[in-house]
Amino acid sequence: MDEAPPVARVRASGSELVVSALGFGGAAIGGLFEAVAERTALDTVTRALELGVTYLDTAPHYGLGISERRIGQALRSARLARDSYVLSTKVGRLLRPLRPGERAPSEGFATSEPLRRVFDFSRDGIRRSLEESLARLGLDRVDIVYLHDPDEHEDEVYATGYRALAELRSEGLVRAIGVGMNQSEMLARFVRRFDLDVVLIAGRYSLLDQGALDELLPACLERDVGVVVGGAFNSGLLADPDADAHFDYAEAPRELVDRARRIREVCTAHGVELPAAALQFPRAHPAVVSVVVGARSVQEIEENAHSFAAPIPSAMWAELQDTGLLDPGVPVP
C-alpha cells in the first residue's frame, strides 16, 4: 500500500501545520512491552515515511530516550526536506543517571538504559527537556511539544508548565503546543483555560472507550484545537483480542476482551478486519486531525497503512450502533 494517507491541519502560531491523518507513534520502537532491534526500528520509520506517514510522535519516556534517538537517526538518514514531515515530542519527564545501587522501574519498556525518569514541569525543566530531546534527535527543532502526563501535576501546569510552553511558542522555538494524556477530563480543563494548538488523547477515543466524546472533543471544536488520537488499539486489544492482549498498558479485563470479540464478529460479517475499523473510527470526529499508531516492524506499519485505507461499508458501522456496541450518537466514517 503506497498511497499516501490524507492530510489535515493543526492550528499553529502564525501558520498551520499539515499532518498526515495517519501518524507514527514512537513508543513501540522504544521497546514498549518488548525490545525492538535498532535496525528494525530504523527500517520501520523509513517505511512509514515512504508510505506518506509523515507525522511522527515521540517522547523521552519512550524507552528512556531510545525512541527519540532512533526517530532522529531515521529522519537524518532519509535526508528529507525539513518541512516535509511534522515531528512532535514531549516535556515533563527529564532523564537522569541512576544513583549508585538504584534500579529504575521499567514502566512497560524493555530497556537497560542506566537512567531514571524525573517529573519536572518547571520553566527550567521544560526548557532543559526540549534541549535534551533535540540532542537525542540530532535535529535543530521539533514542530509540536506536548506536556506529557501531568496527571499528578495539574497545579504545576497552571503555575509554570503552560507558561513555559507558551514562551517556547512565542520565541519561535516550536510551532505548536499542547498536552498529551491518557485521560480526557483534565485535558478538557486545559483546553478551556489555555491557548493550545493541539492535544493528544491516548486510549479515550476508540471503539472500546469513547470517554473523550462528552467534554474534550466538543471543547476542542469550540476552541479550534486539533485532536491527535493515540491508543486506537487500546494497547493491543483491538489489534488482536485472541492474543495476550493488553488494555491501557495492562492485562485486558475479560469483559473488554469479550466486547472486542463481539465487535470483531460484526466486522468480519461485513468483510472488514478489526484493526481497520479501530484505526478508521476516530478519524470520523471533526475535531480529530490525526490517528497515531505505533509499529515495531516494517510489516506492522504496512499493515497499519493498509488498514487505514481499507474500504468499510456504512452498513458495518450501522450494525455496531444497532447492536449497542457503539452508541448511536457517535460519529462514524
Q: Tell me if residue 62 is catalytic.
A: yes
Q: How far is CA 5 from CA 54, 75, 162, in A?
A: 9, 19, 32
Burial zone of 186 (CB within 10 Å; 0-12 exposed, 13-18 middle, 19+ buried):
middle
Q: Check 62, 85, 146, 162 and give the catalytic one.
A: 62
Q: Give the largest Cα separation in the chain, rounded.
A: 60
User: Which amino acid would we find at residue 193?
Assistant: R
93-97 vs 7-12, strand pairing mode: unpaired
Residue count of the chain, please give it.
Answer: 333
Q: Please name the residue that has the C-alpha cell 494548538.
A: 197
Q: Is the dihedral of CA 150, 151, 152, 153 positive or negative?
A: positive
Q: Taking Cα atoms as reference points, which of 157, 1, 148 lies closest to residue 67?
A: 148
Q: Which three cell numbers stand for residue 155?
A: 497545579
Catalytic machinery residues? 62
